[in-house]
Chain A
Protein backbone atom coordinates (compact mmCIF):
# COMPACT_ATOMS: atom_id res chain seq x y z
CA UNK A 1 0.00 0.00 0.00
CA UNK A 2 1.35 3.41 -0.83
CA UNK A 3 0.79 6.29 1.55
CA UNK A 4 -2.85 7.28 2.11
CA UNK A 5 -3.55 10.85 3.18
CA UNK A 6 -6.80 11.44 5.03
CA UNK A 7 -8.39 14.48 6.59
CA UNK A 8 -11.36 14.55 8.94
CA UNK A 9 -12.97 17.96 9.38
CA UNK A 10 -15.93 19.33 11.30
CA UNK A 11 -16.80 21.37 14.35
CA UNK A 12 -15.40 21.11 17.86
CA UNK A 13 -17.70 18.82 19.85
CA UNK A 14 -18.56 16.52 16.93
CA UNK A 15 -15.81 14.11 17.86
CA UNK A 16 -13.66 14.91 14.85
CA UNK A 17 -10.36 14.14 16.56
CA UNK A 18 -11.63 10.87 18.03
CA UNK A 19 -12.93 9.83 14.61
CA UNK A 20 -9.48 10.42 13.09
CA UNK A 21 -7.77 8.85 16.08
CA UNK A 22 -9.77 5.62 15.76
CA UNK A 23 -8.86 5.40 12.07
CA UNK A 24 -5.18 5.92 12.90
CA UNK A 25 -5.27 3.56 15.85
CA UNK A 26 -6.90 0.80 13.81
CA UNK A 27 -4.12 1.10 11.24
CA UNK A 28 -1.19 1.58 13.64
CA UNK A 29 -2.07 -0.92 16.33
CA UNK A 30 -4.43 -3.49 14.86
CA UNK A 31 -3.51 -3.53 11.15
CA UNK A 32 0.25 -3.30 11.73
CA UNK A 33 0.73 -0.28 9.50
CA UNK A 34 2.34 3.07 10.26
CA UNK A 35 -0.01 5.93 11.04
CA UNK A 36 0.58 9.53 12.02
CA UNK A 37 -2.19 11.82 13.25
CA UNK A 38 -1.92 15.58 13.57
CA UNK A 39 -4.78 17.67 14.85
CA UNK A 40 -5.61 21.32 14.60
CA UNK A 41 -8.27 23.18 16.48
CA UNK A 42 -9.24 26.66 17.52
CA UNK A 43 -9.14 28.06 21.06
CA UNK A 44 -12.83 27.37 21.69
CA UNK A 45 -13.85 24.04 23.22
CA UNK A 46 -17.05 23.72 21.18
CA UNK A 47 -18.23 24.95 17.83
CA UNK A 48 -14.95 26.12 16.33
CA UNK A 49 -13.39 24.64 13.20
CA UNK A 50 -11.60 21.43 13.99
CA UNK A 51 -9.72 19.01 11.80
CA UNK A 52 -7.24 16.19 11.96
CA UNK A 53 -4.99 14.66 9.36
CA UNK A 54 -4.10 11.00 9.33
CA UNK A 55 -1.43 9.42 7.18
CA UNK A 56 -1.35 5.63 6.80
CA UNK A 57 1.52 3.80 5.16
CA UNK A 58 3.33 0.47 5.11
CA UNK A 59 6.55 2.38 5.74
CA UNK A 60 7.53 4.81 8.51
CA UNK A 61 6.13 8.28 7.85
CA UNK A 62 8.62 11.14 7.53
CA UNK A 63 7.17 14.52 6.59
CA UNK A 64 4.26 14.80 9.01
CA UNK A 65 1.70 16.86 7.09
CA UNK A 66 -0.74 15.96 4.33
CA UNK A 67 -0.68 18.13 1.25
CA UNK A 68 -3.31 16.52 -0.95
CA UNK A 69 -5.97 14.13 0.18
CA UNK A 70 -6.90 10.63 -0.85
CA UNK A 71 -9.90 10.72 1.47
CA UNK A 72 -11.74 13.68 2.97
CA UNK A 73 -14.33 13.11 5.70
CA UNK A 74 -16.40 16.19 6.52
CA UNK A 75 -19.05 16.86 9.12
CA UNK A 76 -19.52 20.60 8.55
CA UNK A 77 -20.00 22.95 5.65
CA UNK A 78 -16.97 25.01 6.60
CA UNK A 79 -14.74 21.96 6.67
CA UNK A 80 -16.03 20.95 3.25
CA UNK A 81 -15.35 24.39 1.81
CA UNK A 82 -11.94 24.64 3.41
CA UNK A 83 -10.60 21.23 2.40
CA UNK A 84 -12.41 20.04 -0.76
CA UNK A 85 -9.84 21.61 -3.05
CA UNK A 86 -7.14 19.52 -1.35
CA UNK A 87 -8.73 16.30 -2.65
CA UNK A 88 -6.68 14.53 -5.28
CA UNK A 89 -8.41 13.87 -8.60
CA UNK A 90 -10.07 10.49 -8.16
CA UNK A 91 -10.11 10.81 -4.38
CA UNK A 92 -12.99 10.00 -2.05
CA UNK A 93 -15.28 12.46 -0.28
CA UNK A 94 -17.34 11.22 2.65
CA UNK A 95 -19.82 13.73 4.04
CA UNK A 96 -22.59 14.17 6.55
CA UNK A 97 -25.43 14.76 4.09
CA UNK A 98 -27.63 16.94 6.30
CA UNK A 99 -24.77 19.25 7.25
CA UNK A 100 -22.86 19.48 3.99
CA UNK A 101 -24.06 20.31 0.47
CA UNK A 102 -21.26 19.53 -1.90
CA UNK A 103 -20.50 21.77 -4.85
CA UNK A 104 -17.69 21.70 -7.37
CA UNK A 105 -15.05 19.05 -6.73
CA UNK A 106 -11.74 18.03 -8.28
CA UNK A 107 -12.21 15.72 -11.28
CA UNK A 108 -13.04 12.09 -10.69
CA UNK A 109 -13.83 12.44 -7.00
CA UNK A 110 -16.25 9.82 -5.72
CA UNK A 111 -18.59 11.40 -3.18
CA UNK A 112 -20.51 9.34 -0.64
CA UNK A 113 -23.17 10.81 1.64
CA UNK A 114 -24.54 9.58 4.95
CA UNK A 115 -27.12 11.02 7.36
CA UNK A 116 -24.77 10.21 10.22
CA UNK A 117 -26.31 12.56 12.78
CA UNK A 118 -29.79 11.16 12.09
CA UNK A 119 -28.50 7.60 12.40
CA UNK A 120 -26.79 8.50 15.66
CA UNK A 121 -30.03 9.98 17.00
CA UNK A 122 -31.95 6.85 15.99
CA UNK A 123 -29.38 4.76 17.84
CA UNK A 124 -30.09 6.79 20.96
CA UNK A 125 -27.37 9.46 21.20
CA UNK A 126 -26.37 12.09 18.71
CA UNK A 127 -22.91 11.96 20.30
CA UNK A 128 -22.01 8.79 18.38
CA UNK A 129 -22.16 10.53 15.01
CA UNK A 130 -18.38 10.38 14.81
CA UNK A 131 -18.41 6.62 15.28
CA UNK A 132 -21.01 6.29 12.53
CA UNK A 133 -18.55 8.23 10.34
CA UNK A 134 -15.72 5.89 11.33
CA UNK A 135 -17.85 2.96 10.18
CA UNK A 136 -18.78 4.77 6.99
CA UNK A 137 -15.08 5.42 6.30
CA UNK A 138 -14.21 1.77 6.84
CA UNK A 139 -17.15 0.52 4.78
CA UNK A 140 -16.60 2.75 1.76
CA UNK A 141 -12.81 2.77 1.56
CA UNK A 142 -12.04 -0.81 2.63
CA UNK A 143 -8.64 0.54 3.72
CA UNK A 144 -8.69 -1.12 7.11
CA UNK A 145 -9.76 -4.53 8.28
CA UNK A 146 -13.19 -4.58 9.87
CA UNK A 147 -11.81 -6.28 12.95
CA UNK A 148 -9.07 -3.68 13.38
CA UNK A 149 -11.54 -0.82 13.34
CA UNK A 150 -13.91 -2.56 15.75
CA UNK A 151 -11.07 -3.13 18.20
CA UNK A 152 -9.97 0.48 17.86
CA UNK A 153 -13.54 1.70 18.51
CA UNK A 154 -13.89 -0.49 21.59
CA UNK A 155 -10.60 0.64 23.12
CA UNK A 156 -11.31 4.32 22.44
CA UNK A 157 -14.80 4.85 23.87
CA UNK A 158 -15.78 5.24 27.53
CA UNK A 159 -16.54 2.08 29.49
CA UNK A 160 -20.22 1.25 29.48
CA UNK A 161 -20.79 2.72 26.00
CA UNK A 162 -19.16 -0.07 24.01
CA UNK A 163 -22.41 -1.59 22.80
CA UNK A 164 -23.87 1.70 21.60
CA UNK A 165 -20.65 2.64 19.85
CA UNK A 166 -20.31 -0.74 18.22
CA UNK A 167 -23.85 -0.43 16.86
CA UNK A 168 -23.02 3.05 15.59
CA UNK A 169 -19.90 1.74 13.93
CA UNK A 170 -21.74 -1.14 12.25
CA UNK A 171 -24.54 1.12 11.06
CA UNK A 172 -22.03 3.37 9.30
CA UNK A 173 -20.03 0.43 7.99
CA UNK A 174 -23.03 -1.33 6.45
CA UNK A 175 -24.39 1.88 4.97
CA UNK A 176 -20.99 2.47 3.37
CA UNK A 177 -20.77 -1.07 2.00
CA UNK A 178 -24.28 -0.83 0.53
CA UNK A 179 -23.44 2.39 -1.28
CA UNK A 180 -20.27 0.98 -2.77
CA UNK A 181 -22.10 -2.15 -3.85
CA UNK A 182 -25.02 -0.27 -5.45
CA UNK A 183 -22.58 1.89 -7.38
CA UNK A 184 -20.77 -1.18 -8.57
CA UNK A 185 -24.02 -2.71 -9.83
CA UNK A 186 -25.05 0.58 -11.40
CA UNK A 187 -21.84 0.94 -13.36
CA UNK A 188 -21.93 -2.74 -14.37
CA UNK A 189 -25.47 -2.22 -15.70
CA UNK A 190 -24.23 0.76 -17.69
CA UNK A 191 -21.52 -1.43 -19.17
CA UNK A 192 -18.75 0.51 -17.44
CA UNK A 193 -15.97 -1.06 -15.53
CA UNK A 194 -16.10 -0.12 -11.92
CA UNK A 195 -14.26 3.05 -11.21
CA UNK A 196 -11.27 2.18 -9.13
CA UNK A 197 -10.30 4.51 -6.36
CA UNK A 198 -7.26 6.66 -6.81
CA UNK A 199 -5.97 4.98 -3.70
Chain B
Protein backbone atom coordinates (compact mmCIF):
# COMPACT_ATOMS: atom_id res chain seq x y z
CA UNK B 1 0.00 0.00 0.00
CA UNK B 2 1.15 3.57 -0.68
CA UNK B 3 1.72 6.20 2.00
CA UNK B 4 -0.95 8.68 2.99
CA UNK B 5 0.11 11.91 1.20
CA UNK B 6 -0.94 14.07 4.16
CA UNK B 7 2.07 12.85 6.14
CA UNK B 8 4.64 13.08 3.38
CA UNK B 9 6.66 16.32 3.20
CA UNK B 10 7.74 15.84 -0.40
CA UNK B 11 10.91 17.67 -1.41
CA UNK B 12 14.63 18.04 -0.92
CA UNK B 13 15.49 19.20 2.57
CA UNK B 14 18.61 20.08 4.54
CA UNK B 15 17.64 18.67 7.93
CA UNK B 16 19.18 16.69 10.76
CA UNK B 17 18.63 13.03 11.56
CA UNK B 18 16.15 13.74 14.36
CA UNK B 19 13.93 15.80 12.06
CA UNK B 20 14.30 13.26 9.26
CA UNK B 21 13.31 10.44 11.63
CA UNK B 22 10.15 12.36 12.49
CA UNK B 23 9.33 12.83 8.81
CA UNK B 24 9.93 9.12 8.23
CA UNK B 25 7.47 8.28 10.98
CA UNK B 26 4.86 10.65 9.55
CA UNK B 27 5.34 9.20 6.07
CA UNK B 28 5.01 5.69 7.49
CA UNK B 29 1.62 6.62 8.91
CA UNK B 30 2.52 7.23 12.54
CA UNK B 31 -0.32 9.29 14.02
CA UNK B 32 0.31 8.97 17.76
CA UNK B 33 3.46 9.80 19.66
CA UNK B 34 3.88 10.00 23.41
CA UNK B 35 7.20 11.10 24.79
CA UNK B 36 9.20 12.85 27.41
CA UNK B 37 11.92 15.10 25.97
CA UNK B 38 15.51 14.05 26.44
CA UNK B 39 18.72 15.12 24.70
CA UNK B 40 19.72 14.16 22.02
CA UNK B 41 16.29 12.93 20.87
CA UNK B 42 14.14 15.96 21.70
CA UNK B 43 14.05 17.36 18.17
CA UNK B 44 12.17 14.28 16.97
CA UNK B 45 9.18 14.93 19.22
CA UNK B 46 9.53 18.69 18.94
CA UNK B 47 9.01 18.39 15.20
CA UNK B 48 6.25 15.83 15.59
CA UNK B 49 4.41 18.13 18.00
CA UNK B 50 4.63 20.96 15.46
CA UNK B 51 3.71 18.85 12.43
CA UNK B 52 0.99 16.56 13.73
CA UNK B 53 -1.81 19.18 13.98
CA UNK B 54 -1.37 19.77 10.23
CA UNK B 55 -1.47 16.04 9.45
CA UNK B 56 -4.12 14.91 11.91
CA UNK B 57 -3.05 12.90 14.93
CA UNK B 58 -1.91 13.22 18.51
CA UNK B 59 1.26 14.09 20.36
CA UNK B 60 1.27 13.89 24.15
CA UNK B 61 4.15 14.98 26.32
CA UNK B 62 3.77 12.82 29.38
CA UNK B 63 5.24 12.93 32.85
CA UNK B 64 7.96 10.42 32.08
CA UNK B 65 9.11 7.62 29.82
CA UNK B 66 7.21 4.97 31.76
CA UNK B 67 3.93 6.69 30.93
CA UNK B 68 5.01 7.34 27.34
CA UNK B 69 5.88 3.73 26.66
CA UNK B 70 2.47 2.53 27.86
CA UNK B 71 0.41 5.33 26.30
CA UNK B 72 1.59 4.34 22.83
CA UNK B 73 0.40 0.79 23.42
CA UNK B 74 -3.05 2.05 24.35
CA UNK B 75 -3.11 3.95 21.06
CA UNK B 76 -2.17 0.80 19.15
CA UNK B 77 -5.28 -0.95 20.46
CA UNK B 78 -7.17 2.17 19.44
CA UNK B 79 -5.95 1.50 15.91
CA UNK B 80 -3.03 3.89 15.48
CA UNK B 81 0.55 3.48 14.32
CA UNK B 82 2.71 4.76 17.15
CA UNK B 83 6.18 5.56 18.40
CA UNK B 84 7.94 6.92 21.41
CA UNK B 85 11.30 8.63 21.35
CA UNK B 86 14.01 8.70 23.96
CA UNK B 87 17.66 8.23 24.87
CA UNK B 88 19.43 5.86 27.28
CA UNK B 89 18.04 7.00 30.65
CA UNK B 90 14.51 7.07 29.26
CA UNK B 91 14.96 3.72 27.55
CA UNK B 92 15.94 2.21 30.89
CA UNK B 93 12.64 3.40 32.34
CA UNK B 94 10.70 1.86 29.45
CA UNK B 95 11.98 -1.68 29.92
CA UNK B 96 8.96 -3.19 31.64
CA UNK B 97 6.59 -1.90 28.99
CA UNK B 98 8.84 -3.15 26.21
CA UNK B 99 8.23 -6.62 27.63
CA UNK B 100 4.51 -5.90 27.63
CA UNK B 101 4.69 -4.91 23.95
CA UNK B 102 6.55 -8.15 23.25
CA UNK B 103 4.05 -10.45 24.98
CA UNK B 104 0.93 -8.63 23.81
CA UNK B 105 2.44 -8.40 20.30
CA UNK B 106 1.84 -4.70 20.12
CA UNK B 107 3.39 -3.16 16.99
CA UNK B 108 5.29 -0.05 18.05
CA UNK B 109 8.50 1.81 17.33
CA UNK B 110 10.93 2.89 20.05
CA UNK B 111 13.44 5.49 18.88
CA UNK B 112 16.65 5.53 20.91
CA UNK B 113 19.03 8.35 20.06
CA UNK B 114 21.99 6.89 21.89
CA UNK B 115 24.26 8.96 24.10
CA UNK B 116 27.10 8.04 26.42
CA UNK B 117 26.16 6.13 29.59
CA UNK B 118 25.69 4.52 32.05
CA UNK B 119 23.04 6.66 33.76
CA UNK B 120 23.01 10.36 32.81
CA UNK B 121 26.44 9.88 31.23
CA UNK B 122 27.09 12.18 28.29
CA UNK B 123 23.77 13.86 27.41
CA UNK B 124 25.02 15.66 24.31
CA UNK B 125 27.57 13.17 23.00
CA UNK B 126 27.29 9.92 21.05
CA UNK B 127 27.53 6.25 21.95
CA UNK B 128 26.22 2.94 20.62
CA UNK B 129 26.09 1.33 23.99
CA UNK B 130 22.37 0.43 24.21
CA UNK B 131 22.61 -2.36 21.66
CA UNK B 132 22.44 -5.21 24.17
CA UNK B 133 19.92 -3.35 26.30
CA UNK B 134 17.34 -3.39 23.53
CA UNK B 135 18.00 -7.07 22.93
CA UNK B 136 17.93 -8.23 26.52
CA UNK B 137 16.66 -5.31 28.64
CA UNK B 138 13.19 -6.50 29.52
CA UNK B 139 12.85 -9.76 31.38
CA UNK B 140 11.83 -13.02 29.78
CA UNK B 141 12.43 -14.38 26.30
CA UNK B 142 11.49 -12.30 23.26
CA UNK B 143 13.05 -11.22 19.97
CA UNK B 144 12.95 -7.54 19.06
CA UNK B 145 13.88 -5.95 15.74
CA UNK B 146 16.44 -3.12 15.63
CA UNK B 147 17.67 -0.90 12.81
CA UNK B 148 20.77 1.31 12.77
CA UNK B 149 20.68 4.32 10.38
CA UNK B 150 23.91 6.15 9.56
CA UNK B 151 22.62 9.37 7.97
CA UNK B 152 19.64 11.73 8.02
CA UNK B 153 18.47 10.22 4.71
CA UNK B 154 18.45 6.79 6.31
CA UNK B 155 16.67 8.17 9.36
CA UNK B 156 13.84 8.88 6.93
CA UNK B 157 14.08 5.74 4.77
CA UNK B 158 14.70 3.21 7.52
CA UNK B 159 12.06 4.69 9.80
CA UNK B 160 9.46 3.69 7.21
CA UNK B 161 10.99 0.23 7.20
CA UNK B 162 10.86 0.16 11.02
CA UNK B 163 7.13 0.88 11.01
CA UNK B 164 6.53 -1.68 8.28
CA UNK B 165 8.41 -4.37 10.20
CA UNK B 166 6.51 -3.54 13.38
CA UNK B 167 3.24 -4.21 11.53
CA UNK B 168 4.50 -7.35 9.78
CA UNK B 169 5.86 -9.03 12.89
CA UNK B 170 3.96 -7.32 15.70
CA UNK B 171 7.05 -6.70 17.80
CA UNK B 172 8.62 -3.65 19.40
CA UNK B 173 11.03 -2.25 16.79
CA UNK B 174 14.01 -0.22 18.01
CA UNK B 175 15.34 2.61 15.90
CA UNK B 176 18.94 2.85 17.08
CA UNK B 177 20.21 6.30 16.21
CA UNK B 178 23.04 8.05 18.03
CA UNK B 179 23.79 11.66 18.88
CA UNK B 180 25.88 12.25 15.75
CA UNK B 181 23.33 10.82 13.33
CA UNK B 182 20.55 12.63 15.22
CA UNK B 183 22.20 16.04 15.12
CA UNK B 184 23.96 15.76 11.78
CA UNK B 185 22.40 17.83 8.99
CA UNK B 186 22.50 16.60 5.41
CA UNK B 187 20.36 16.50 2.30
CA UNK B 188 17.23 14.41 2.74
CA UNK B 189 15.09 13.61 -0.26
CA UNK B 190 11.48 12.78 0.54
CA UNK B 191 9.75 11.16 -2.44
CA UNK B 192 6.06 11.54 -3.29
CA UNK B 193 3.65 9.37 -1.30
CA UNK B 194 2.97 7.11 -4.28
CA UNK B 195 6.62 6.03 -4.20
CA UNK B 196 6.55 5.06 -0.52
CA UNK B 197 5.44 1.55 0.35
CA UNK B 198 3.79 1.23 3.73
CA UNK B 199 2.52 -1.91 5.42
CA UNK B 200 -0.88 -1.43 6.93
CA UNK B 201 -2.08 -3.26 10.01
CA UNK B 202 -3.51 -6.64 9.18
CA UNK B 203 -7.04 -6.52 10.48
CA UNK B 204 -8.95 -9.73 11.01
CA UNK B 205 -11.47 -10.81 8.40
CA UNK B 206 -13.31 -12.85 11.01
CA UNK B 207 -16.60 -11.94 12.62
CA UNK B 208 -16.56 -10.96 16.31
CA UNK B 209 -18.01 -14.31 17.39
CA UNK B 210 -15.25 -16.24 15.58
CA UNK B 211 -12.28 -14.04 16.34
CA UNK B 212 -9.60 -15.20 18.73
CA UNK B 213 -6.91 -12.51 19.30
CA UNK B 214 -3.89 -14.81 19.37
CA UNK B 215 -4.92 -17.34 16.77
CA UNK B 216 -2.25 -17.32 14.09
CA UNK B 217 -3.59 -19.00 10.96
CA UNK B 218 -0.27 -20.64 10.32
CA UNK B 219 1.91 -17.56 9.81
CA UNK B 220 2.93 -17.05 13.46
CA UNK B 221 1.63 -13.45 13.52
CA UNK B 222 -2.00 -13.04 14.59
CA UNK B 223 -4.42 -10.61 12.90
CA UNK B 224 -5.53 -7.58 14.88
CA UNK B 225 -8.67 -5.70 15.80
CA UNK B 226 -9.17 -2.29 17.32
CA UNK B 227 -11.37 -0.87 20.01
CA UNK B 228 -14.80 0.21 18.84
CA UNK B 229 -15.19 -2.36 16.07
CA UNK B 230 -17.32 -4.70 18.17
CA UNK B 231 -14.72 -7.32 19.04
CA UNK B 232 -14.35 -8.47 22.62
CA UNK B 233 -10.71 -8.86 23.42
CA UNK B 234 -8.57 -9.29 26.49
CA UNK B 235 -5.00 -8.02 26.44
CA UNK B 236 -2.75 -9.07 29.25
CA UNK B 237 0.89 -9.26 30.20
CA UNK B 238 0.17 -12.65 31.75
CA UNK B 239 0.88 -15.75 29.70
CA UNK B 240 -2.22 -16.17 27.57
CA UNK B 241 -3.83 -18.64 25.22
CA UNK B 242 -5.23 -17.98 21.77
CA UNK B 243 -8.30 -16.37 23.30
CA UNK B 244 -6.03 -13.86 25.03
CA UNK B 245 -7.03 -15.11 28.48
CA UNK B 246 -4.48 -15.91 31.17
CA UNK B 247 -3.47 -19.53 31.10
CA UNK B 248 -0.51 -20.06 33.33
CA UNK B 249 0.47 -23.57 32.45
CA UNK B 250 3.85 -24.78 31.21
CA UNK B 251 2.20 -25.92 27.96
CA UNK B 252 0.69 -22.49 27.17
CA UNK B 253 3.92 -20.75 28.18
CA UNK B 254 5.93 -23.01 25.90
CA UNK B 255 3.62 -22.49 22.94
CA UNK B 256 3.44 -18.71 23.38
CA UNK B 257 7.13 -18.04 24.04
CA UNK B 258 8.25 -20.30 21.22
CA UNK B 259 5.99 -18.44 18.83
CA UNK B 260 7.22 -15.04 20.05
CA UNK B 261 10.78 -16.14 19.32
CA UNK B 262 10.10 -18.11 16.16
CA UNK B 263 8.18 -15.42 14.33
CA UNK B 264 11.51 -13.59 14.21
CA UNK B 265 14.02 -16.46 14.26
CA UNK B 266 12.36 -18.44 11.49
CA UNK B 267 12.08 -15.29 9.38
CA UNK B 268 15.73 -14.29 9.89
CA UNK B 269 16.39 -14.56 6.15
CA UNK B 270 13.66 -12.00 5.45
CA UNK B 271 15.04 -9.77 8.16
CA UNK B 272 18.54 -9.71 6.70
CA UNK B 273 19.86 -6.27 5.79
CA UNK B 274 23.65 -6.30 5.65
CA UNK B 275 25.19 -3.87 3.15
CA UNK B 276 28.50 -5.27 1.95
CA UNK B 277 31.40 -3.76 0.06
CA UNK B 278 34.39 -5.75 -1.21
CA UNK B 279 33.54 -8.75 0.98
CA UNK B 280 33.87 -11.16 -1.95
CA UNK B 281 37.69 -11.10 -1.87
CA UNK B 282 38.28 -9.86 1.67
CA UNK B 283 40.90 -11.36 3.95
CA UNK B 284 39.90 -8.82 6.58
CA UNK B 285 36.27 -7.76 7.05
CA UNK B 286 35.14 -4.81 9.13
CA UNK B 287 31.69 -5.23 10.66
CA UNK B 288 30.02 -2.02 11.73
CA UNK B 289 26.66 -0.29 12.19
CA UNK B 290 25.25 3.20 12.57
CA UNK B 291 27.59 6.18 12.62
CA UNK B 292 30.64 3.93 13.03
CA UNK B 293 29.99 2.51 9.56
CA UNK B 294 30.84 5.89 8.03
CA UNK B 295 34.17 6.00 9.83
CA UNK B 296 34.79 2.36 8.88
CA UNK B 297 34.08 3.14 5.21
CA UNK B 298 36.76 5.86 5.28
CA UNK B 299 39.27 3.41 6.81
CA UNK B 300 38.35 0.56 4.42
CA UNK B 301 38.66 2.85 1.38
CA UNK B 302 42.13 3.95 2.57
CA UNK B 303 43.21 0.35 3.10
CA UNK B 304 41.91 -0.74 -0.33
CA UNK B 305 43.79 2.16 -1.91
CA UNK B 306 46.90 0.65 -0.36
CA UNK B 307 46.11 -2.68 -2.01
CA UNK B 308 44.80 -4.53 1.03
CA UNK B 309 41.99 -7.02 0.59
CA UNK B 310 39.58 -5.51 3.07
CA UNK B 311 35.82 -5.72 3.05
CA UNK B 312 33.07 -3.98 4.95
CA UNK B 313 29.81 -5.48 6.14
CA UNK B 314 27.45 -2.91 7.54
CA UNK B 315 24.58 -4.12 9.70
CA UNK B 316 21.46 -2.10 8.88
CA UNK B 317 19.16 -4.49 10.72
CA UNK B 318 21.14 -5.19 13.88
CA UNK B 319 18.50 -7.39 15.57
CA UNK B 320 17.90 -10.14 14.70
CA UNK B 321 21.65 -10.48 14.35
CA UNK B 322 22.59 -11.76 10.85
CA UNK B 323 24.45 -14.76 12.23
CA UNK B 324 24.07 -16.91 9.12
CA UNK B 325 25.49 -14.22 6.84
CA UNK B 326 28.45 -13.55 9.15
CA UNK B 327 29.09 -17.31 9.35
CA UNK B 328 29.14 -17.42 5.54
CA UNK B 329 31.64 -14.55 5.42
CA UNK B 330 33.83 -16.48 7.86
CA UNK B 331 34.39 -19.09 5.13
CA UNK B 332 36.63 -16.58 3.35
CA UNK B 333 37.64 -13.87 5.83
CA UNK B 334 40.52 -14.55 8.16
CA UNK B 335 39.99 -11.64 10.54
CA UNK B 336 36.86 -9.73 11.51
CA UNK B 337 37.25 -6.26 13.02
CA UNK B 338 34.32 -4.88 14.98
CA UNK B 339 34.51 -1.16 15.79
CA UNK B 340 31.59 0.10 17.86
CA UNK B 341 30.94 3.01 20.22
CA UNK B 342 30.77 0.77 23.25
CA UNK B 343 33.25 -1.43 25.04
CA UNK B 344 32.42 -4.56 23.04
CA UNK B 345 28.74 -5.50 22.62
CA UNK B 346 27.90 -6.64 19.07
CA UNK B 347 31.38 -8.17 18.81
CA UNK B 348 30.05 -10.91 21.09
CA UNK B 349 27.43 -11.79 18.47
CA UNK B 350 30.11 -11.80 15.78
CA UNK B 351 32.19 -14.20 17.88
CA UNK B 352 29.18 -16.48 18.31
CA UNK B 353 28.45 -16.50 14.58
CA UNK B 354 32.08 -16.98 13.55
CA UNK B 355 32.47 -19.78 16.13
CA UNK B 356 36.25 -19.92 15.97
CA UNK B 357 36.53 -20.15 12.17
CA UNK B 358 38.24 -16.75 11.99
CA UNK B 359 39.84 -14.30 14.37
CA UNK B 360 37.49 -11.65 15.79
CA UNK B 361 38.97 -8.39 17.06
CA UNK B 362 36.98 -5.80 18.99
CA UNK B 363 37.75 -2.11 18.43
CA UNK B 364 35.95 -0.62 21.42
CA UNK B 365 35.32 3.05 22.15
CA UNK B 366 33.72 4.41 25.31
CA UNK B 367 31.78 7.08 23.38
CA UNK B 368 31.72 10.86 23.49
CA UNK B 369 32.90 11.05 19.89
CA UNK B 370 33.41 8.60 17.05
CA UNK B 371 36.46 6.48 16.24
CA UNK B 372 39.29 8.08 14.31
CA UNK B 373 39.50 6.50 10.84
CA UNK B 374 43.24 6.08 11.53
CA UNK B 375 42.48 3.85 14.54
CA UNK B 376 40.44 1.48 12.40
CA UNK B 377 42.99 1.68 9.57
CA UNK B 378 45.82 0.72 11.95
CA UNK B 379 43.82 -2.33 13.09
CA UNK B 380 43.19 -3.27 9.45
CA UNK B 381 46.94 -3.03 8.69
CA UNK B 382 47.74 -5.12 11.75
CA UNK B 383 45.16 -7.75 10.79
CA UNK B 384 46.32 -7.87 7.16
CA UNK B 385 49.94 -8.57 8.10
Contact = CB atoms under 8 A, between A and B. Distances in A.
B291 A21 contact: no
Contacts of B184: 36-38, 64
Contacts of B180: 38, 64
A29 B13 CA distance: 7
B187 A35 contact: yes
Contact of B186 (A28, A39, A62, A152): A28
B298 interface: yes
Nearest to A20: B185
Interface in A106-127: none
Contacts of B297: 62
Contact of A64 (B12, B13, B187, B294): B294
A25 interface: yes
A123 B147 CA distance: 49
Mostly, the A contact residues are mixed
Interface in B168-213: 180, 183-187
A63 B187 contact: no
A62 B177 CA distance: 16
A24 interface: yes
Nearest to B372: A63
A34 interface: yes
Interface string A136-155: 00000000000000001000
Contacts of A35: 14, 186-187
B370 interface: yes
* Most central of B12, B185, B294, B369 by chain A CB within 10 Å: B185
Nearest to B371: A63
A158 to B, nearest CB: 15
A64 B180 CA distance: 8
Given A63-B373, A64-B180, A64-B370, A37 B186 contact: yes
27 contacts: A24-B14, A24-B185, A25-B14, A28-B187, A29-B12, A34-B186, A34-B187, A37-B14, A37-B184, A37-B185, A38-B180, A38-B183, A38-B185, A39-B183, A39-B185, A61-B186, A62-B294, A62-B297, A62-B298, A62-B301, A62-B373, A63-B298, A64-B184, A64-B291, A64-B294, A65-B369, A65-B370
Interface of A: 21, 24-25, 28-29, 34-39, 61-65, 152
Given A29-B187, A35-B14, A35-B186, 20 more contacts: A24-B14, A25-B14, A28-B186, A34-B187, A35-B187, A36-B186, A37-B186, A38-B183, A38-B184, A61-B294, A62-B297, A62-B298, A62-B301, A63-B294, A63-B298, A63-B370, A64-B291, A64-B294, A64-B370, A152-B14
